[in-house]
């Protein structure tokens, strides 16, 4: 019993250390890019609320939250003048931004998480119909957590200020979600996203971390 308790305590310490490392990585990116400060945290918060509606376990939600708070960590390799430019990017510049998913995967893949965090990060710009990037995955080839993160990422981006445009509001975000259901986004995930706002009263305030 003592050995079992010590092993559990060790595992708890290791999990807390990994979570602290994840938070540090997220903070490093946010300090570099003031315009998206808080973006990763807000996306993670919404993703967890959606996951609860979709019936994911507490353990799955915890991994999803941590993937959310570092889903854009690969942007640390993208020049800051591109990330903060208040105008449309050229095709070459946008292609450079798109490399952030593979860069994020490379940063995270060597860490022995109990969740597929690196793969979730790698897949969060894949589309249900296979038109996304970096690998053109489709349907159930895309992890459910990545499908959730993709919708949460879209809503947060639309409803918050960006260097190249003002916030566009929740109604417009819902229009875009519905228009993307079945092509870019999973329809069940889209409905869960709308429901957490309309039925659960979700807001981007008071972020929470799923319980251990």
Predicted confidence at residue 211, as pLDDT, reads 46
Question: Are the beta carbons of 76 and 28 closer than 8 angstroms?
Answer: yes
Residues 6+ apart with CB under 8 A from 158: 167, 168, 169, 172, 173, 176
* pLDDT over 60 (residue 208): no
Question: Are the beta carbons of 145 and 64 closer than 8 angstroms?
Answer: yes
Residue 181's DSSP bridge partners are: 185
What does the pLDDT look like over 7-29, one tens digit per residue? 777 666 776 777 777 777 777 77
**Both structure tokens of 5:** 């308790």
* Active site members: 75
Torsion sign (Cα): 75, 80, 83, 84? positive
- Tell me if the bond preceding 150 is cis, omega within 30° of 0: no
Predicted confidence at residue 29, as pLDDT, reads 75
Q: 26-40, 89-103, 121-135 — which one is most confidently predicted on average?
A: 121-135
* pLDDT over 70 (residue 206): no
Other Cβ atoms within 10 Å of 57 Cβ, number? 11
Predicted confidence at residue 27, as pLDDT, reads 76
What does the pLDDT look like over 132-165, one tens digit per residue? 999 999 999 999 999 999 999 999 999 987 777 7
Distance CA 32, CA 27 (A): 9
When pLDDT is averaged across residues 53-59 and rounded to a whole number, the result is 96
Average pLDDT value over all residues in the chain:
88
pTM of the entire predicted model: 0.87
* pLDDT over 50 (residue 207): no
When pLDDT is averaged across residues 40-45 and rounded to a whole number, the result is 92
């Amino acid at each position: 019993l003592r050995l079992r308790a010590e092993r559990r305590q060790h595992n708890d310490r290791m999990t807390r250390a990994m979570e602290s490392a994840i938070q540090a990585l997220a903070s490093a990116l946010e300090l570099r890019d003031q315009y998206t400060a808080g973006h990763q945290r807000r996306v993670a918060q919404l993703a967890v609320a959606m996951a609860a509606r979709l019936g994911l376990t507490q353990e799955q939600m915890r991994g999803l939250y941590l993937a959310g708070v570092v889903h854009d960590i690969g942007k640390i390799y993208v020049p800051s003048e591109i990330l903060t430019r208040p105008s449309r990017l050229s095709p070459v510049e946008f292609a450079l931004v798109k490399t952030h998913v593979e860069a994020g995967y490379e940063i995270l893949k060597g860490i022995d998480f109990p969740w597929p965090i690196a793969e979730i990060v790698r897949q969060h710009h894949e589309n249900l119909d296979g038109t996304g990037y970096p690998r053109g995955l489709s349907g159930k080839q895309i992890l459910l957590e990545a499908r959730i993160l993709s919708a949460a990422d879209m809503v947060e981006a639309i409803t918050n200020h960006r260097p190249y445009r003002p916030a566009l509001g929740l109604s417009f975000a819902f229009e875009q979600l519905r228009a993307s259901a079945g092509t870019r986004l999973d329809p069940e995930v889209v409905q869960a996203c709308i429901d957490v706002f309309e039925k659960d009263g979700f807001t981007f305030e008071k972020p929470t971390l799923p319980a251990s």
